Amino acid sequence: MTTNTIVDANTEADAAALLADFHTMSEFGATSGGGVDRQAASAADGQTRSWFSGWLADRGFRVEVDTIGNIFGLLELVPGAPYVLFGSHLDSQPLAGRYDGAYGVLAAGHAAHRAHRDLAASGITPRYNIAVVDWFNEEGSRFKPSMMGSAVFTGRLDLEVALATTDPRGTSVREALDAIGGRGGFVGPDVAGYAEIHVEQGRTLEDAGVPIGVVASTWCAYKYEIVVLGEQSHTGSTLMRDRRDALLGASKLVVAINELVREFDDEVLHASVGEFTVGPNSPVTIAREVRLLADLRARESSILASAFEILQQRMRAIESETGVRIEVLASSVWESGPFLETGLAITETAAEQLGLDSMRVLTLAGHDATNLKETVPVILIFVPSVDGVSHNEKEFTHDTDLVAGARVLTEVVKRLALGDFAG
> Based on CB atoms, which residue is closest to a second copy, 266 or 309?
266
Q: How far is the CB of 77 from a second copy (least distance, A)?
A: 36
Q: How far is the CB of 70 from a second copy (least distance, A)?
A: 20
Between CA 206 and CA 340 the distance in angstroms is: 24
Q: How far is the CB of 107 from a second copy (least distance, A)?
A: 19
Q: How far is the CB of 163 from a second copy (least distance, A)?
A: 19
CA atoms within 13 A on the CB side of 133: 32
Q: For the chain, how long is the longest CA-to-CA vector?
A: 83
> Based on CB atoms, which residue is closest to a second copy, 74 or 326?
326
Between CA 392 and CA 84 the distance in angstroms is: 32
> Based on CB atoms, which residue is closest to a second copy, 119 or 199?
199
> Based on CB atoms, which residue is closest to a second copy, 50 or 332?
332
> Based on CB atoms, which residue is closest to a second copy, 82 or 97?
97
Q: How far is the CB of 31 from a second copy (least distance, A)?
A: 12
Q: How far is the CB of 282 from a second copy (least distance, A)?
A: 4
**Residue of 108, 170, 96, 111 lying closest to 133 (CA atoms):** 108
First to last CA, the chain: 17
**Residue of 304, 313, 375 lying closest to 333 (CA atoms):** 304
Interaxial angle between packed helices 399-418 and 341-353, expressed in degrees from 0 to 180 and rounded to the nearest 10? 120
Q: How far is the CB of 256 from a second copy (least distance, A)?
A: 9
> Based on CB atoms, which residue is closest to a second copy, 237 or 320?
237
Q: How far is the CB of 268 from a second copy (least distance, A)?
A: 9
> Based on CB atoms, which residue is closest to a second copy, 239 or 329?
239
Q: How far is the CB of 251 from a second copy (least distance, A)?
A: 4
> Based on CB atoms, which residue is closest to a second copy, 81 or 148?
148
244 touches 323 (CB < 8 A): yes
Q: How far is the CB of 198 from a second copy (least distance, A)?
A: 10
Between CA 415 and CA 327 the distance in angstroms is: 50
CA atoms within 13 A on the CB side of 233: 15
Angle at 142 between CA 246 and CA 155, to 5 degrees: 110
- The amino acid that residue 171 corresponds to is T
Between CA 248 and CA 318 the distance in angstroms is: 9
- In which element (H, E) is residue 360 found? strand 358-363
How many residues appear in the chain? 423
**DSSP 3-state assignment of 367?**
coil
> Based on CB atoms, which residue is closest to a second copy, 70 or 92?
92
140 touches 86 (CB < 8 A): no
- In which element (H, E) is residue 48 found? helix 43-58
> Based on CB atoms, which residue is closest to a second copy, 85 or 261?
261
130 touches 112 (CB < 8 A): yes
Between CA 369 and CA 380 the distance in angstroms is: 7
